[in-house]
Chain A
Amino acid sequence: MPNELLEMNRQEVASQGSAEQTRTHKLYTPITDIHESKEQLVLLADMPGVKQDGVDITLEQNILTIYGHVDQPELPGYTLTYAEYGIGSYKRVFALSNEIDREGIQASVKNGVLKLVLPKSKRAIPRKIAVQAE
């Protein structure tokens, strides 16, 4: 069976400005899909190892920050001998162009994927304006 699933490697988050993390573990950018419909934005982010309660989402003005915490695996007696992925938490920041209905934001985590549904606020949904003939 051919391996047709190729994926970009996730990158470590470069330190932004002067802000540094208080924890010493690594921080990665989760790879993300975003699609939009008339009513909402849907964001899917791969965050393997993140539990439902390890997710933190903030929306400030139009800046959306997603964060997912990953615990280091504890395998007593075992040593990591070969690694293709680094273990760390996830963080990514998006600037949203649409006005979002904050109250209606829904987040869920399933099988290591964060799904975020961001409904557009009523004001931002395009309205059809009928032109009246005079």
Chain B
Amino acid sequence: MLFQKLTDNDLFGSVRDMQRLQNSLNRLLSDRIPVEASAEFPPLNVWTSENGVIVRAEIPGVAPEDVDISLVNDTLTLRGSRNPDELKEGESRHRQERGYGLFTRSLQLPFGVEADHVQARFSNGVLQITLPRSEAEKPRRISVVSES
């Protein structure tokens, strides 16, 4: 995953690493993040900033109370199930494209988060989880004192 690559990279490693970082940054700065097609359900979009991370998942057709969100250390897990639309007698299917059943998705977050302040919101089939970055892990500015 992109942000993992970003954090795992040794900044002062090889030139290739620097280039990779450059590419990742370019992708970050431009709006055109390539969509990584995935058959995993639900598909996730991840938004990051200095202060936290927002995970959005498209879970249409699932009631908010049927989604279970858990956070263990820096791993976020979504669980739930989508129930099939039962056919009544005399009905026939023309088209069946939507999937049914249980789903689980886990995501490793790029930094530690304040577990007590995580918020989840579900609207129109889109789940949005806001995870604030833990204070201890926020980037800090270090001032240099001159000794002259």
| B residues lining the A interface (CB < 8 Å) | 1-3, 28, 31, 33-41, 43-51, 54, 56, 58-64, 79, 81-82, 85, 87-88, 90-105, 122, 124-126, 128
Contact = CB atoms under 8 A, between A and B. Distances in A.
Contact of B85 (A33, A51, A73, A111): A33
A131 interface: no
Nearest to B38: A84
A7 B96 CA distance: 11
B103 to A, nearest CB: 4
Interface of A, secondary structure class, is: loop
Given A48-B124, A75-B47, A7 B41 contact: yes
Top 6 nearest A-B pairs by Cβ distance?
A112-B125, A112-B60, A48-B125, A84-B43, A4-B101, A78-B47
Nearest to B1: A82
Interface of A: 1-9, 31-38, 41, 44, 46-51, 73, 75, 77-87, 109, 111-113
A47 B126 CA distance: 10
A126 to B, nearest CB: 12
Contacts of B100: 5
Given A47-B125, A48-B126, A112-B60, A81 B47 contact: yes
Given A5-B102, A46-B98, 15 more contacts: A5-B101, A8-B39, A8-B97, A8-B99, A33-B96, A33-B97, A34-B93, A37-B88, A78-B54, A81-B48, A82-B44, A83-B46, A111-B64, A112-B58, A112-B61
